[in-house]
Amino acid sequence: MTDTFVPQNIIVTGGCGFIGSNFVHYVVNNHPDTHVTVLDALTYAGNIENIAGLPADRVKFVHGNICDAELLDRLVPGHDAIVHYAAESHNDNSIANPEPFLKTNVEGTYRLLEVARKYDVRYHHISTDEVYGDLALDDPHRFTEETPYHPSSPYSSTKASSDLLVRAWHRTFGVRATISNCSNNYGPYQHVEKFIPRQITNILEGIRPKLYGDGLNVRDWIHTDDHSSAVWTILTKGRIGETYLIGADGERNNITVLRDILEVMGEPADAFDWVKDRPGHDRRYAIDSTKLQTELGWHPEHTNFQEGLEQTIKWYSDNRAWWEPVKAATEEKYKQQGQ
């Protein structure tokens, strides 16, 4: 299938975060005709270093908040697409303090939809499989585009809310929108609060890794580069008004992932601590990405999890200066939560 839309000037919100910055690198490396404007508030999760060194004639950085309607009104003209990654993204933080999640994830999405509507700009909305709630470990089903919304946490309920706003703005106002709901990403530039980088950097710092609950919760891992290629495919070929699920058949339980990390890093299999479970902890996520694969021809390329994990461990080992400044404060916050 040929591209139906090749954007020339895209705004990437949250382009200094984990997945957004990987998408910016992906666009620069693979789509030479597209210019990127990164709009990012540089919260605790954003780091300008994530896009350092990219060519200035391809990537422009704007420091600002997606809730700032006046800024959006000035910024958006001259762009032909918005790819919206910016969010408060961490479940544990949403349990400790939900308010920023309401502000950024719900109000921020509303502001972007309003400006996309005003200037008739193509809008792609990045969301999560967590909007569908969770599955039992023995459930033979996986999430599809038809699965009813059933979010569990303050984080996932604000993401579900934002998805519903997108659907309404498409149907009522004709905003040219698509939505993607992706499973758990891993790879470089992921904040050390998240499971895989937290455990890798704990080991590098001589801290014992921390496993929640019984360790049997399942996540459906995808390399962030596969997420990027899927988003590009949907942005350029997706049918307006549609939702596409993104996943790479990467189901694994947490204890298996942790044991893989311990083994690669030369630690004994039991060198970790069991800690208090996350309240409302989703048991299992699993994505069926048949629609994206059959309708738009996307396929994941980085499906060797062991290889991807080893590269990720190497990245954190080689880039200590990137994560060391925020490590102690992150662990202190977890300690106060008993995790």
Task: For residue 247, state whether it binds ligand NAD (rule: CB under 6 A).
Answer: no
| Pick from 253, 257, 114, 123: nearest CA to 178 | 123
Tell whether residue 181 is a contact of ligand TDX (CB under 6 A).
no
Q: Among the options 40, 88, 130, 193, which is catalytic?
A: 130
Choices 28-36, 96-104, 110-118, 205-213; region in contact with ligand TDX by CB under 6 A: 205-213
Confirm or reject binding of residue 128 to ligand TDX (CB under 6 A): yes
Residue 7 contacts ligand NAD per CB under 6 A = no
Q: Which does 117 bind (CB under 5 to 8 A by kind): ligand NAD, ligand TDX, none?
A: none
Pair of tokens at residue 106:
């719900």
Distance CA 168, CA 249 (A): 30
Catalytic residue among 88, 129, 220, 225: 129
Which of ligand TDX, ligand NAD, none sits in contact with 305, Cβ below 5 to 8 A by type?
none
The token pair at 143 is 């999430």
Q: Catalytic pick from 155, 189, 244, 285?
A: 155
CA distance 47 to 52: 9
| Residue 256 within binding range of ligand NAD, rule CB under 6 A | no
* Residue 260 binding partner per list ligand NAD, ligand TDX, none, with a CB distance cut-off of 5 to 8 Å that depends on partner kind: none
Q: Is 3 a catalytic residue?
A: no
Residue 197 in the binding site for ligand NAD (CB under 6 A): no
Q: How far is CA 33 from CA 6, 27, 28, 99, in A?
A: 8, 9, 9, 39
Q: Which does 79 bind (CB under 5 to 8 A by kind): ligand TDX, ligand NAD, none?
A: none
Spatial CA neighbour of 338 closest among 276, 278, 281, 279: 276
User: What is the DSSP secondary structure assignment for residue 60, as one 8-state letter?
Assistant: E
- Identify which range of 34-42, 72-80, 269-277, 331-339 contacts ligand NAD by CB under 6 A: 34-42
CB 72 within 8 A of CB 111: yes
| Residue 211, beta-bridge partner list | 274
Active site residue 186: no
Closest CB 92 distance from ligand NAD, rounded Å: 12
Handedness of CA 106, 108, 114, 116 (dihedral sign): negative
Q: Which does 191 bind (CB under 5 to 8 A by kind): ligand NAD, ligand TDX, none?
A: ligand NAD
DSSP secondary structure string, 164-215? HHHHHHHHHH---EEEEEE--EESTT--TTSHHHHHHHHHHHTPPPEEETTS
Buried b (16+ CB within 10 A) or exposed e, 219-248: bbbbbbbbbbbbbbbbbbbbeeebbbbbbb
Q: Is 29 exposed, middle or buried (0-12, 13-18, 19+ CB in 10 A)?
A: exposed
303: its two tokens: 């499906």
Does the annotation count 220 as an active-site position? Answer: no
Q: Which amino acid is at 101?
A: F
Q: Which stretch binds ligand NAD (CB under 6 A): 27-35, 178-186, 263-271, 281-289?
A: 178-186
User: Which of 40, 130, 260, 288 contacts ligand TDX by CB under 6 A?
Assistant: 130
Give the one residue of 34, 184, 233, 236 binding ligand NAD; rule: CB under 6 A: 184
Q: Rounded to whole angstroms, how far apart are CA atoms 16 and 59?
A: 12
* Distance, CA of 227 to CA of 289 (rounded, Å): 12
Site string for ligand TDX, 245-284 (x = CB under 6 A): ---------x-----------------------x------
In the region spanning residues 32 to 91, those forming contacts with ligand TDX, defined by CB under 6 A, are: 89-91
Residues that bind ligand NAD (CB under 6 A): 13-14, 16-20, 40-43, 45-46, 65-67, 85-87, 89, 104, 108, 126, 128, 159, 182, 184-185, 191
Q: Which residues are catalytic?
A: 129-130, 155
